[in-house]
Amino acid sequence: MLPSFAANGFLPLGRYSVSFDVAESMLVSAPEFQNSTTRTGLWDSFHGYLDRFLTLEETYADLLDGLPLVHRLWLGGSFVSTKPDPGNIDATLLIDTRAERAVRGKPGSKWLTTAFQSRERMREKFGVSPLRIGYQPVAHIFEPERLTPDERTYFTQRGVWDDWWQRCRLPNQDDRSPSEESAAPARGYLEVRL
């Protein structure tokens, strides 16, 4: 069942897994956004941003052996709300570190760094404000003493951004930064499968 926006304009609490096409139908082509002046353009630009990862996957398919560069994509912020004209798309990309290592140093792979170096530059060029999590599968989650530093970093980053996308700014508050007062989960976000 597809999540739908609650009366407050946000998704109910939680992370909702959807395909890329379903995300587009919910956030761009849904009837409530037919008069939006920004959503279609932002989504098209976002396609351009993601296409660079997909091009690397196609180019180095033999090295990747079926691994995707973008394991999952989390969408949150005002684009995942009923706001008619959001200013950008807030996204967290879970980059598969195994795939990333396989293509590092190859022609075009500088994108894996450039894509996250300057959120402001990516917002200006593609309408996306990207964040990166280095995804890696971990089998021994019930044995924390076995976690490598990279695995600990992965779990920390994943938890931080899962927490962040469920927060809301407090109404009538001048301070727009995260705060203890705004830490309680208040909305949901999308996990997009490419």
pLDDT in tens, 4-44: 999 999 999 999 999 999 999 999 999 999 999 999 999 99
pLDDT digits (tens, 9 = 90+) for 162-193: 999 998 877 766 666 677 877 888 899 999 99
Q: What is the pLDDT of residue 122?
A: 97
Collapse the DSSP code of 184 into the 3-class scheme (helix H, G, I; strand E, B; otherwise coil) and give the result: coil
Rounded Cα distance, 112 and 60, in Å: 13
Q: Look at residue 3 and tell me whether its pLDDT is greater than 90.
A: no
Say how many C-beta atoms besides its own lie within 10 A of residue 177's C-beta: 7
Rounded Cα distance, 153 and 133, in Å: 9
Q: What is the pLDDT of residue 175?
A: 61
Q: What is the pLDDT of residue 50?
A: 98
State the average pLDDT over residues 125-133. Answer: 97
Q: Where are the beta strands (DSSP E) in 3-109?
A: 14-19, 70-76, 89-96
Rounded Cα distance, 75 and 165, in Å: 8
Asked if 81 and 9 touch (Cβ cutoff 8 Å), the reply is yes
Q: Look at residue 69 and tell me whether its pLDDT is greater than 70.
A: yes
In terms of Cβ atoms closer than 10 Å to its own Cβ (0-12, 13-18, 19+), residue 19 is: exposed
Global pTM? 0.92
Rounded Cα distance, 37 and 8, in Å: 22
Rounded Cα distance, 11 and 122, in Å: 26
Instruction: Dig out the tokens for 113 from the structure.
Output: 């760094």
